Amino acid sequence: MNDLQTKAQKLGIIMPEISSEQINDQIKPVLRQMEEVGIGLNCAGLNNLADKLTIRLKELEGQIYQAVGAEFNISSPIQMAEMLFDRLKLPTTGLKRTKSGVSTAASELSKISSEHIVIALILEYRELSKLISTYLRPLPLLVDENSRLHTTYSMDTSTGRLSSSEPNLQNIPIKGTYGEDIRAAFVASPGCKLIVADYSQIELRIVACLAKDKAMIEAFGRDEDIHAQTAAAIFNINMADVTAAERRVAKAVNFGIVYGQTPYGLSQALGIEVTAAATYIKNYFDLHTGIMDYINDMISAAHTDGYVETIFGTRRYLPNINSSVRYIAEGEERMAINMPVQGTAAEILKLAMIEMSKRLELINDKRKNKGHDCPARMLLTVHDEIVLEAPVEMAEEVGKILKDTMENVIIMCVPIKVSLGIGDNWAKAK
């Protein structure tokens, strides 16, 4: 048994004896096959939506010109800032600045949305123009003769995650007014269903385990509402009394913790006072002392060794961790906190894909010569999610196998949970 195995065992982790290099070797052919298979795209659906949104975009353009009293390039942040802050004299206090001037990012403009009706128009314009120019227009042009879309996966990331490009199928819209419509254009082959399996809070479960955090391990072990538990802790109330708003704050705290978020960052994210954010974080660490120790351990390990690593040994070197420029060093300290968590999640996903690929071969071998037009096969992966397609009559069974594979490819000190969906398209299968 090697060092990593011993270390993992002390954390209550039972993992396959495989190195990060071996994982990466074995995932490659799986990815190449997924790229070749591709996923069905309903081009007509996207084109129709593009046409509809383009009409709305034109309306908004006219309304913005009228509200401002001038015509300008709405897509130019420079011209936008000039119109809002020089011509209309909207207040800039409290707004972030970029290198070139006052930021016109949506997060900043929404702070002054009550100052002028044009802000709402601009935000809607930006939303539509993003969807049209990045997704609705380009994607239909990229399909093959069978109306299938093929991405390219890369592994040269700093944490071990995969990335996807040309087109990037890991950032297809899902939120907002049109997210569902866009996802619905990603479809299963005829006679097949899409099967979507998502790791539930995988990074939080990993950090609970790596940090040996007692309260969090117990909460996950009892299958409790982790965000409600956090809310109770940071607001000093009973779990039963947690409101929806308090739970939302707690969710943001849980989310931010694996990124090394500061009180300032949390205050920005939630639109609250820095002092309030600081209190929440303090209360959080009072409950989760294991998490606090883990963060400090990772930072000091990075300072000493110059790198951090995942449980399978993927390393990230942090050459500037000892920089005398404080914000440079602090930036790498946050990377030191996050990378072992994000990287371990990536490895678990890859392991599950490798194992599932083997199981799919067995499934398909068994069904050879039975006249099925579409084999059960892996199509996409999005960081904590795997998308498959399988013949309708097999979908339930394949889904169960997928869920089982993902949940048991590694045993951690907290249960690993996977949510499963089956449907004709990517919207319905979620």
Residues that bind DNA (CB under 7 A): 73, 75-79, 81, 98-100, 103-107, 123, 126-127, 129-131, 133-134, 138, 154, 157-159, 161, 163-168, 170-176, 179, 252, 255-256, 259-262, 264-266, 268-269, 326-327, 330-331, 334-335, 338-339, 342, 382-385
Q: Are 182 and 49 in contact (CB under 8 A)?
A: yes
The least distance separating DNA from the CB of residue 255, rounded to whole angstroms, comes to 5
CA 264 to chain centroid: 22
The least distance separating DNA from the CB of residue 112, rounded to whole angstroms, comes to 13
- For DNA, the closer of residues 131 and 410 by Cβ is 131
Q: Are 395 and 420 in contact (CB under 8 A)?
A: no
Distance CA 89, CA 112 (A): 12
- For DNA, the closer of residues 208 and 363 by Cβ is 208
Give me the sign of the Cα torsion angle 4, 7, 11, 17. positive
- For DNA, the closer of residues 6 and 114 by Cβ is 114
Q: What are phi and psi of 123, to 5 degrees?
A: -65, -40
- For DNA, the closer of residues 196 and 394 by Cβ is 196
Distance CA 17, CA 23 (A): 10
The least distance separating DNA from the CB of residue 225, rounded to whole angstroms, comes to 20
Backbone angle region of 147, left / alpha / beta, with phi > 0 → left and psi within -120 to 50 → alpha: left
- For DNA, the closer of residues 105 and 411 by Cβ is 105
The least distance separating DNA from the CB of residue 38, rounded to whole angstroms, comes to 15
The least distance separating DNA from the CB of residue 69, rounded to whole angstroms, comes to 19
Q: Are 376 and 337 in contact (CB under 8 A)?
A: no
Burial of residue 31, with CB atoms counted within 10 A of its CB: 0-12 exposed, 13-18 middle, 19 or more buried: buried
The least distance separating DNA from the CB of residue 319, rounded to whole angstroms, comes to 13
| Contacts by 391-395, CB closer than 8 A, 24 or more apart | 391/191, 391/192, 391/193, 392/191, 392/192, 392/193, 394/363, 394/367, 395/192, 395/193, 395/195, 395/422
The least distance separating DNA from the CB of residue 136, rounded to whole angstroms, comes to 10
The least distance separating DNA from the CB of residue 191, rounded to whole angstroms, comes to 27
- For DNA, the closer of residues 343 and 391 by Cβ is 343
Q: Are 159 and 177 in contact (CB under 8 A)?
A: no
- For DNA, the closer of residues 135 and 391 by Cβ is 135
The least distance separating DNA from the CB of residue 287, rounded to whole angstroms, comes to 19
Q: What are phi and psi of 309, to 5 degrees?
A: -150, 160
Q: Are 266 and 253 in contact (CB under 8 A)?
A: yes
CA 43 to chain centroid: 25
- For DNA, the closer of residues 78 and 117 by Cβ is 78
The least distance separating DNA from the CB of residue 129, rounded to whole angstroms, comes to 7
- For DNA, the closer of residues 171 and 408 by Cβ is 171
What's the half-sphere exposure (Cβ side, CA atoms, 13 Å) at 324? 0
- For DNA, the closer of residues 159 and 229 by Cβ is 159
| Contacts by 122-126, CB closer than 8 A, 24 or more apart | 122/64, 122/74, 122/80, 124/60, 125/57, 125/60, 125/61, 125/64, 125/74
